[in-house]
Chains A and B, each alone.
Chain A
Amino acid sequence: MNASTQAVALPQLAPAQRAIGLIGSDLTEKSLRLHLEGLPGVDAVGLEQRAAGLGTRSIKTTSKAWALDTIIRLIDLTTLEGADTPGKVRSLVAKAMNPDPSDTSTPRVAAVCVYGDMVPYATEALGASHGDPDAGLISVAAVATAFPSGRASLPVKLADTADAVANGADEIDMVIDRGAFLAGNYGLVFDQIVAVKEACRREDGSYAHLKVILETGELNTYDNVRRASWLAILAGGDFIKTSTGKVAPAATLPVTLLMLEVVRDWHRLTGERIGVKPAGGIRTSKDAIKYLVTVAETAGEEWLTPHLFRFGASSLLNDVLLQRQKLTTGRYSGPDYVTID
């Protein structure tokens, strides 16, 4: 950089490692914008056709059993209601720990996902089962940053995050400021993610996993989804997540495919693996299997682990259990044979 450009130096963005690695140390609103706008465009029709094509794959019976168990292992079992109570959360946790009382071979879900103030009830209910899903334990994910709208000041968002982490949340599902994104203030969105990531830091120096919710239904266009996905990764997100579940459309297969293409490209570029979480709107095993196929054919089968792929869902679990019972018994099951949480 020569002296004359330094004289008009633009305000620097927060020095996130990934962004500096890719864009360079001159990390400004402008350089970030140039990078994001330089990404290849997305042709919606082609993307949707590819997603539809992936949706027609049919997997074999042995794979289906594996797929159903995998779906359960990848679920963030979620309750995000204004009416959530300690009792509701305990009931959710019970379901997470023992999804099908009639079949103890049923795996556990990856995490329960609750509002920040419900985290203590979740951790308490989990007890010894609280921990890393890779070890067969269950994580606690908390939505934060003025979920679902994200319309609050940064200090409030950071406090919301730090509070959840302090309460024992292993994962933070933050929302980006869609208003800022749509207004073109990419730097603001970026800086906020970096700040929230920092707020995920625990006293021992480790970090809660950060899932960045793009709310793709509000970003509206696929080009925006691609840019927001890159932005979230550059700012330090561990996961990119489609939706809050409070806005329609929530997760769709084409949007998830697109986000998987981004993490695949990021991996090609850097060797680093980022997670993807479609959330909202996935209610049937059949749909969920389409997502598994899409993950496997786009990013690769190695993504089918709780650290790299999650379903944000509530009613999906029971449909998977019904299908699982059908596979085990050979007969179609019914809703009275699975528990409600």
Chain B
Amino acid sequence: MSPHLAVPKTYKLYIGGKFPRSESGRTYEVLTKKGAFLANASLASRKDARDAVVAARSAQPGWAAATAYNRGQVLYRIAELLEGRRDQFVDEVIVTEGLSKAAATKQVDTAIDAWVWYAGWADKYVQVAGNGNPVSGPYFNLSTPEPTGVVAIIAPQASDTPGGNSLLGLVSVIAPAILTGNTVVVVASQSAPLAAVSLAEVLATSDVPGGVVNILTGSPAEMAPWLAGHADVNALDLAGAESLDWVDLQVTAADTLKRVLAPEHGVPAPSLERIVALTETKTVWHTKSLI
């Protein structure tokens, strides 16, 4: 019996719950750390980015309207699926980032744990970041954070982060954004997109509605200006934009006064601040009277 001939995966984009190729028909070669060919990933275009924003916008109200408990469960389910594909992610991290098995395993495990941590916030962040306000007068007054809307994210790029980041970087920017009810358009690590596409497969087989997370592979430098300038994007997370001309991106984002998160060196640590940064505080007043 001849040995099994491997069936390689076609790496496509993830937009609106579907896996299209780039409308441009372009691909780029994903190489191992040592330069060997791994795959042809889709090289997303500005039009793919536009389609992703449309998908994200149409999914946003429904996702935000889901109960916090439900969002928490849906997100926790992702962690279960990640755990099930743990070996696959470890392999992809090893080949794309050139990490040792131990380091790759640590990255994947950290990513899964971060996902679980964030999933648990879905039905708590409002309690911690919101407040009842003792105003002077006969009024009920409550401030609660709610999702800002559609968030465009440049995921952490460089693989020189100790321990790597191709999966952990993604998790660290996607989870805090979507747990509140935002939907996202993520530009994955250009050099190490395999984990991103596999994460998309996980999301597609989970209960996360299509369009909540949209993942683009390709050139952040090419897509970021379009996302920064898109009027239907509410916030721009430049976490992985350190090597881009991010000041220009901020200037562009100011055209529609987007909320902008500055570039970070390495992978953003899990934090409540990251969750709250992509929310809006809404304060509701109502009169109070017995008669």
Chain B, residues 255-291, CB within 8 Å of chain A (1/0): the string is: 0000000000000000000000000000000011111
B84: Cβ under 8 A from any A Cβ: no
Q: Is the CB of A43 within 8 A of B291?
A: no
Contact with B along A27-45 (1 / 0, CB 8 A): 0000000000000000111
List residues of B whose CB falls within 8 A of some A CB: 137-139, 287-291
A335 to B107, CA, bound (A): 90
Report how far A220 CA is from B289 CA in the complex, Å. 12
B136 to chain A, nearest CB (A): 13
CB-CB under 8 A from B289, the residues of chain A are 43-45
Q: Chain B residue with minimal CB distance to A220? A: B291
User: Which secondary structure dominates chain B's binding surface?
Assistant: loop
Report Cα–Cα, A44/B290, bound state, in Å.
8
Q: How far is the CA of A206 from the CA of B140 in the complex (A)?
A: 53
Q: How far is the CA of A44 from the CA of B138 in the complex (A)?
A: 10
Do B287 and A45 have beta carbons less than 8 Å apart? yes
Q: Give the residues in chain A near B287, CB-CB below 8 Å.
A: 43-46
- A43 and B138 alpha carbons, distance in the complex (Å): 12
A221 at the binding interface (Cβ < 8 Å): yes
Shortest beta-carbon distance, A261 to chain B, in Å?
Answer: 16
Measured in the bound complex, the distance between the Cα atoms of B138 and A46 in whole Å is: 10
Residues of B within 8 A of A221 (CB): 290-291
List of 3 A-B pairs having minimum Cβ-Cβ separation, nearest first = A44-B289, A45-B287, A221-B291
Note all chain B residues with C-beta closer than 8 A to A43.
Answer: 287, 289
Q: Does A222 belong to the interface (CB within 8 Å)?
A: yes
Chain B residue numbers with a CB within 8 Å of A222 are 291
Collect the chain A residues with CB atoms within 8 Å of residue B288's CB: 45
A220 to B290, CA, bound (A): 9
A-B contact pairs, 16 of them (CB 8 A): A43-B287, A43-B289, A44-B287, A44-B289, A44-B290, A45-B137, A45-B138, A45-B139, A45-B287, A45-B288, A45-B289, A46-B287, A220-B291, A221-B290, A221-B291, A222-B291
Distance of A221 Cα from B137 Cα, bound (Å): 19
Cα–Cα distance between A37 and B150 once the two chains are bound (Å): 44
Within the assembled complex, what's the spacing in Å between the Cα atoms of A152 and B291? 28
B291: A residues at CB distance < 8 A? 44, 220-222
In the complex the two chains form, what is the Cα distance from A44 to B291 in whole Å?
6
Nearest chain B residue, comparing its CB with the CB of A255: B291
A326 to chain B: closest CB distance in Å?
36
Residue of B nearest to A222 (CB): B291
Bound: A1/B137 CA distance, A: 51
CA–CA, A110 to B288, complex, Å?
Answer: 39
Chain A contacts of B138 at CB under 8 A?
Answer: 45
In whole angstroms, how far apart are the Cα atoms of A220 and B291 in the complex?
6
Apart from A44-B291, A45-B287, A45-B288, what 14 extra A-B contacts exist at CB < 8 Å?
Answer: A43-B287, A43-B289, A44-B287, A44-B289, A44-B290, A45-B137, A45-B138, A45-B139, A45-B289, A46-B287, A220-B291, A221-B290, A221-B291, A222-B291
Distance (whole angstroms) from the CB of A9 to the closest CB of chain B: 37
Closest Cβ–Cβ distance, residue B285 to chain A (whole Å):
10
Interface centre among B139, B288, B289, B290 (most CB of A within 10 A): B289
* B289 and chain A: residue at smallest CB distance: A44
Q: What is the CA–CA distance of A222 and B289 in the complex, to the nearest angstrom?
A: 10
Contact indicator per residue, chain A 209-247, by CB within 8 Å of chain B (1) or not (0): 000000000001110000000000000000000000000
Distance in angstroms between the alpha carbons of A64 and B291 in the assembled complex = 34
- Measured CA separation A143–B288 after assembly (Å): 36
